[in-house]
A and B are shown apart, each in its own frame.
Chain A
């Protein structure tokens, strides 16, 4: 799995968009970008994933740069319940096999 770099922490005002960056400059052509989050000691929760194109679902949007060396997870209208640690993971395959979560970005949504 390619190495990823994320900021240690970020703050976001409630109701504003939260933009969480991830650098993965060594990503291979067949590796996907996955995002998970963990809300205080709960089980990690899948958010979104993508290969090349930007993706959107009911939780978030994922913007991947054209060279695929970085990506941004966007929570369009952050709420207090979005306060969590967000993990960017680059992998060839999906699934629960030996996921490496690293240290992630601790997002704090401020009222």
Chain B
């Protein structure tokens, strides 16, 4: 089954304690991205990657890091989480955007609370 898997689904952590949210896809997609969703603000892109070892900033990259060492995995790293990073996070993957008949697949989300 084609899917994007995120872990963990729920996480409560304390300010400053480094954490990683994992994302894995089984569709051999080149493109992967991370979004955060906050009430009234919709989904905002944090970082994206167009292929292995190619990553770039989205609209709200501050406080986050990513890596793309393998095609299937795209972890999101919070080196020093702060309460304003409390949010619902989604990983997404797809073929590259130039493939117009493609669609985006999303993970089930990670609800992060930073206290």
CB pair A94 B97 closer than 8 Å = yes
User: Which bucket holds chain A's interface residue count?
Assistant: 20 to 34
Q: Which of A46, A92, A103 lies in contact with B104, CB distance below 8 A?
A: A46
Task: Give A89's nearest chain B residue, CB to CB.
Answer: B104
Q: Which residues of A contact B104 (CB under 8 A)?
A: 36, 44, 46, 94-96, 99
Find out whether the CB atom of B31 lies under 8 angstroms from the CB atom of A43: no
The verdict on A103 contacting B59 (CB below 8 Å), with A43-B106, A43-B109, A95-B95 known, is no
The answer to the question of B4 belonging to the interface, with a C-beta cut-off of 8 Å to chain A, is yes
A60 to B103 CA separation, bound complex (whole angstroms) = 15
- Residues of B with C-beta under 8 A to A45: 106
How would you classify the secondary structure of chain A's contact residues: helix, strand, loop or mixed?
Answer: loop
Most interface-central of A32, A43, A99 (chain B CB within 10 A): A43
> Residue A102 at the B interface, CB < 8 A?
yes
Q: Is B24 an interface residue (CB 8 A)?
A: no
Residues on A with beta carbons closer than 8 Å to the beta carbon of B95: 94-95
Whether the Cβ atoms of A95 and B31 lie closer than 8 Å is yes
- Given contacts A43-B4, A97-B48, A92 and B105 within 8 Å (CB-CB): no
Cβ–Cβ < 8 Å partners of B93 in chain A: 96
A27–B93 Cα distance when bound, in Å, is 25
**CB < 8 Å: which of A43, A46, A98 contacts B103?**
A46
Given contacts A46-B105, A49-B103, A93-B100, contact A98 B59 (CB under 8 A): yes
Beta-carbon contacts under 8 Å, A78-111 to B:
92-103
Taking the closest CB of chain B, its distance from the CB of A92, in whole angstroms, is 7
Give the residues in chain B near A99, CB-CB below 8 Å. 35, 43, 45, 92, 104
In the bound complex, CA of A101 to CA of B38 (Å): 12
Contact A97 B31 (CB under 8 A): yes
Give the residues in chain B near A32, CB-CB below 8 Å: 100
> Which A-B residue pairs are the 3 nearest by beta carbons?
A43-B106, A95-B94, A96-B104
Q: Beyond the given A96-B93, A99-B104, please list 6 additional residue pairs across the A-B interface where CB-CB is below 8 A.
A: A43-B109, A96-B31, A96-B94, A97-B33, A98-B45, A98-B48
13 CB-based A-B contacts, threshold 8 Å: A34-B103, A42-B108, A43-B4, A43-B108, A43-B109, A44-B90, A44-B106, A93-B97, A95-B104, A96-B31, A96-B93, A96-B104, A98-B45
